[in-house]
Amino acid sequence: MPALLPPTDTSRADHHKVVIVGAGAAGIATASSLIARDPSLDIALIDPAEVHYYQPGWTMVGAGVFKAPSTAHTMAATLPRGVRWIKARVEGFDPQGQLVILDDGRAVSYEQLVVCPGLKLDWQAIEGLGETLGRNGVTSNYRYDLAPYTWQLVQNLKQGRALFTQPPMPIKCAGAPQKALYLSCDHWLRHGHLGNVRASFFNAGAVLFGVPDYVPALMSYIDKYGVDLNYQHRLTAVDGPNKRATFTRTLPDGSSETRVETFDMLHVVPPQVAPDFIRHSPLADAAGWVDVDPHTLRHRQFGNVHALGDVANTSNAKTAAAARKQAPVVANNVLVALGRLSTLAQYDGYGSCPLTVERGKIVLAEFTYGGKVAPSFPRWLLDGRKPTRLAWLLKAQILPPLYWQAMLKGREWLAKPQPLLVEASQ
């Protein structure tokens, strides 16, 4: 049941034509795409953060390719001009009254609401993890402050056991747990340490990657690096001082058993859930994610609410590339709802995961709903099913400026929204 909100003085509600909750990649891109279509639009963006991060760069920080500060810009400098920034936390929603309730009791009213606060990294779901993160060889590229520690550990490890984990889906950037594994192993191989460093990958799922076309290339690197590959193993506890990790393994009959492994380095990817204020709101589905139509990204119950990015319950990969394609669709459809455009746009489920299999080469996975391969480039130029240097150059040199100067500025390169097809809306 949705949580009951404290009484709110709606007479003091701050009103805006469009209210966007969340100033991550999805929120800022949507605001910029709206302004690009209608510069006169009254938009407010709610987010308490002082800093905006380019999170796809953290894998590269953990491999010594990028420096952490290059992935961080101030929020004030990143927000588009003409958008009002409400620097506050959201407590809940009243979709019947068209209100967003802030944690200080204030209300913000809207005609159209866009919900994209990202997801919650549930570090506390793993016993003992919170107390040892950033110490005792325990790290994660999923945090800005820990990615440099990953690189420090990789450089210093000359022998011993390195464990890499992946939690149950859904998670943001499902390839990121593997990226940390491959780039670390590549470093140890290049420096002659891989024989003495034994790498293991513990995946809570049953497959290496959800789109089969890319698995052969990835398996070739698992073999190249001699990785001990374990499926259906979920990290449940960490004893940092004694360097012991406990995994729960799902058995074929549905029962489970625990397994304890020692480590010298442990790269953890935590379980991930929708933010509390989303999970306990009228906007959520039974699993806690915002319940939207997968093509229009409009809420199934409230017609003036849209959602995109990691918080939506769509089946696409939760990546910045997905948000890049979703933002113009939501911008278009919000303007249709306001009567300023006439044709709905559709999102096809596009997601992309540049799998950094070694320093200088990437398997560029691109796919839409249902795991259908959807390359952006002709295969003679870039075959994403194979590791290529061109894909590495795309990831290392082209995508960061594309993110900051195109996606977040409303320049929709390779992201123009397509009209909604009749069959897609049914």
Residues serving a catalytic function are 173, 353
> Cα–Cα distance between 405 and 342 in angstroms, integer?
29
Residue 231 CA to residue 247 CA, distance in Å, equals 11
Helix then strand then coil, % of the chain, to nearest 5? 30, 30, 40
- CA distances (Å), origin 402, targets 34, 149, 321, 368, 406: 18, 27, 11, 21, 5
- Collapsing DSSP to helix, strand or coil, 36 comes out as helix
**The Cα angle at residue 204 between residues 199 and 209, in degrees rounded to 5:** 80
- CA angle at residue 317 from 311 to 321, to 5 degrees? 90
**Residues whose CB is less than 8 angstroms from the CB of residue 108 and which lie 6 or more positions away in sequence, other chains included:** 13, 14, 15, 16, 19, 44, 46, 86, 99, 100, 102
Task: Put residue 137 in one of left, alpha, beta given phi > 0 → left and psi -120 to 50 → alpha.
Answer: left
